[in-house]
Amino acid sequence: MAREVRVRFAPSPTGPLHIGGVRTALYNYLFAKKMGGKMLLRIEDTDQTRFVPGAEQYIFDSLEWCGIKLDESPVHGGPHAPYRQSERKPMYMEYALQLVEAGHAYYAFDTAEELDEMRERLKAAKVATPQYNAITRATMKNSLTLPEDEVKRRLESGDPYVIRLKVPRKEEIRLKDMIRGWVMVHSSAIDDKVLMKSDGMPTYHLANIVDDHLMEITHVIRGEEWLPSAPLHVLLYRYLGWEDTMPEFAHLPLLLKPDGNGKLSKRDGDKLGFPVFPLNWTDPVSGEKSSGYREAGYLADGFVNFLAFLGWNPGTQQELFTMDELIEAFSIERIGKSGTRFDIQKARWYNEQYLRAKPDAELAQYLLAALPEGIDCTPERAEKIVSIMKERVTFPQDFWKEAAYFFVAPTEYNEQVAAKKWSAAGANAFIQFKNELDSLPDFDADTVKAQLLQVLEQNGLKIGQVMQALRIALTGVEAGPDLMAIIEIIGKEETQRRIEVAVERLSQYAK
Ligand code: GLU
C-alpha cells in the first residue's frame, strides 16, 4: 500500500523567515494537500548559538498570514511530538552510537587548535579545500587512530568529543531529485561531517535524517542550497538501514535578485527597494527594522499567488489562483530547474488584481480606517470613492493617499500643468459652468457633463483643451479617475468653491 504523503517544513529559528523560506513552505503545503497528505512544521534549533528570540513565533505568524495550515507542529502537537529538535535532544545519541558500532562513524577528540593546525598544514601543502576526510582522518586524534583503551579512557573520563561520519573514500553517490533528475556526487567531495557535537547536541545533518525518518516523511521539498548535503543524507539513510523508506527529494530553484545576479538573500533587507520578509521584523539585539509584505500593504492571497508563480507555473495562461485552485493545479514536475528572478512589479500587479476583486464595501473600510481625525465620511460615500479609485491603486493605504482631494480642497496645484493648460478663456468658461450648476435639476456625473459641454460650446472651446485645467482646479493633481464622477462625489457647493479659489490662485497663468 502506498504510504500517506507526509512533508515537513523545517526552518531554523535564526532570524525572520526569508521570502524564499515562505515559498518552500508554500510548495510543501500545496504538494501535501494535492496528494491528500499531511504537512508538519519542525523547528530545527540544534545550533543554540544561532538561536534568535522571537524567530519561532515569526515563523508561525508568517505561515498563518499566508493561510498555510499545519497538521502537526510544536503548537498543534501531533503523533511525533515534540516537534522542536532541542526538545528531542535525548533521542539522537542512540542513532549516532548505532553508526559507530556499525563502523560508519567514529569518535574524534581533536581540539580546536589541532583542527586549525591540520587546516594550516594542508593549506601549506596547497590542498584547495582542507577538510577532515578519508585521508586526513588518519592523521588526527580519533577512535580510528588511537588505541582502543585510550578511546575508552577518554570517553569514561569525560573528555570532549564529537562523532563524525566515516565517509567512504571512493564511491559515487547517486540520488534522484524530482526536479533535477539524477544527481551524482563523488564521496571524495564530502568531508567527515560531525554528527554529534561536544555539547551532546546533534548537528543538522543527523537530526534532520533521524527526524525525517521517525516522522515518516515521504518527500523532502527544500531550497537548492541543501542539494550539496543531499548525498551525505543518502549515506546516512543507507548506514542507518532506512534506505527503503528514504524520502524523495525535490530541491527548489533559488530566488534570484531582480537583475539575475546572485541569490536574493536575507541581507538584501530593504536595500533593493522591496521587502524580503513576509512580516515586519525588528532585530531583538540590534533593534534594526526590516519591512514585511503584510505591513507594506500586500494582501495575503495575492502574495501567495505571486509566490506560487516564483518557480512554478501551471502550463496555462491562467495567472490568478485561489489557494484551493493552486492546490488543484500544483505539481512538482512543473517547477523550473533554473533560478527565478524576483520581480516586485509582478507582486504589485497581483496585489492590484486582488484588491480590485474585493467588494466595494470591503475596500471602503480601508479608506475609512485611514481617515485622519476630524474628517468624516459615510460608508456610502466611501464606497463611491473606492469604486472609482480602485483601478488606480496598488495598496489599501493608497485609497487615502490618492483620494485625499475628495475630502480636502487642494492647497497646491500642479504648476507644470497650470503653465501649459490654464487659460483666460478656460477660466471664464469654468466660472460660467460654476454659476450654472445652481440651475441643474440633478447633480450627477451625466447631468454635470452635459452642462459642461454646453458651456464649452458656447465659449468656442473643446473639452480636450480645458479638461486638465479643470482637473487641477478641482483636485490639484494631473491624473485621477473620471472628473465628472469626482464632481458628483465632492458635491455642488464644494465644486463651486474649488473653481472660485483656483481661478483666483491660478490667475497668473491666464493668458
Ligand atoms: N533547518 C534547515 C533550514 O534551515 C532545513 C533544511 C531542510 O529542509 O532539510 O533550512
Assess whether the C-beta atom of 11 lies below 6 angstroms from ligand 1. yes
Assess whether the C-beta atom of 44 lies below 6 angstroms from ligand 1. yes
In the chain the domains, ranked by start, together with CATH numbers, are 6-74+208-256 (3.40.50.620), 89-205 (3.90.800.10), 409-511 (1.10.10.350)
Assess whether the C-beta atom of 10 lies below 6 angstroms from ligand 1. yes
**Distance, CA of 504 to chain centre:** 51
Taking a C-beta distance cutoff of 8 angstroms, is the pair 20, 214 a contact? no
- Ligand 1 centroid–CA 22 distance in Å is 12
Assess whether the C-beta atom of 47 lies below 6 angstroms from ligand 1. no
- Ligand 1 centroid–CA 398 distance in Å is 38
Assess whether the C-beta atom of 45 lies below 6 angstroms from ligand 1. no
Residue 312 is given by DSSP the state B
**pTM as predicted:** 0.93
In this prediction, the residues of the chain whose per-residue pLDDT falls under 50 are none
CA-based Rg of the chain, rounded to a whole angstrom?
33
**Angle formed at CA 307 by CA 305 and CA 308, multiple of 5 degrees:** 65
Q: At what angle do helices 483-490 and 492-505 cross, to 10 degrees?
A: 110
- Beta-bridged to residue 185, according to DSSP, are 173
Residue 244 is given by DSSP the state G
- Beta-bridged to residue 335, according to DSSP, are 312
Assess whether the C-beta atom of 12 lies below 6 angstroms from ligand 1. yes
How far apart CA 132 and CA 149 sit, in angstroms, is 23
Residue 104 is given by DSSP the state S
How many Cβ atoms sit within 10 Å of the Cβ of residue 45? Answer: 21
- Ligand 1 centroid–CA 204 distance in Å is 8
- Ligand 1 centroid–CA 222 distance in Å is 7
Q: What is the pLDDT of residues 368-402, one digit of tens each?
A: 999 999 999 999 999 999 999 999 999 999 999 99
Cell 483620494 belongs to residue: 403
Q: Which of 204, 236, 249 to mutate to test the pocket of ligand 1 (most atoms within 8 A of CB)?
A: 204
Model pLDDT, residue 129: 87
SS (H, E, C) 166-221: CCCCCCEEEEEECCCEEEEEEHHHCCCCEEECCCCCECHHHHHHHHHHHCCCCEEE
Nearest CA to ligand 1 atom 6: 10
Nearest CA to ligand 1 atom 2: 11
Assess whether the C-beta atom of 142 lies below 6 angstroms from ligand 1. no
Q: Binding site for ATP: which residues?
A: 266
Q: Which residues, including other chains, have CB under 8 Å from residue 435's CB and lie 6 or more apart? A: none
- Ligand 1 centroid–CA 89 distance in Å is 17
Q: Which residues, including other chains, have CB under 8 Å from residue 137's CB and lie 6 or more apart? A: 106, 108, 144, 145, 164, 166, 192
Taking a C-beta distance cutoff of 8 angstroms, is the pair 142, 299 a contact? no
Q: Can the peptide bond before residue 253 be classed as cis, meaning omega within 30 degrees of 0?
A: no
Q: Is residue 266 among the annotated active site residues?
A: yes
Taking a C-beta distance cutoff of 8 angstroms, is the pair 188, 84 a contact? no
Assess whether the C-beta atom of 226 lies below 6 angstroms from ligand 1. yes
Model pLDDT, residue 345: 97
Q: Which of 14, 222, 224, 225 to mutate to test the pocket of ligand 1 (most atoms within 8 A of CB)?
A: 222
Closest Cα partner for 313 from 333, 293, 294? 333
Closest Cα partner for 45 from 78, 83, 92, 13? 13
Residue 121 is given by DSSP the state H
Assess whether the C-beta atom of 222 lies below 6 angstroms from ligand 1. yes
Q: Binding site: which residues?
A: 266
How far apart CA 217 and CA 495 sit, in angstroms, is 67
Spot the catalytic one: 34, 89, 266, 492: 266
On the CB side of 186, how many CA atoms lie within 13 Å of its CA?
Answer: 5
Cell of 401: 493617499
Quick check: helix, strand or coil at residue 164? Answer: strand
- Ligand 1 centroid–CA 12 distance in Å is 7
Q: Which of 12, 19, 210 to mutate to test the pocket of ligand 1 (most atoms within 8 A of CB)?
A: 12
Nearest CA to ligand 1 atom 10: 11
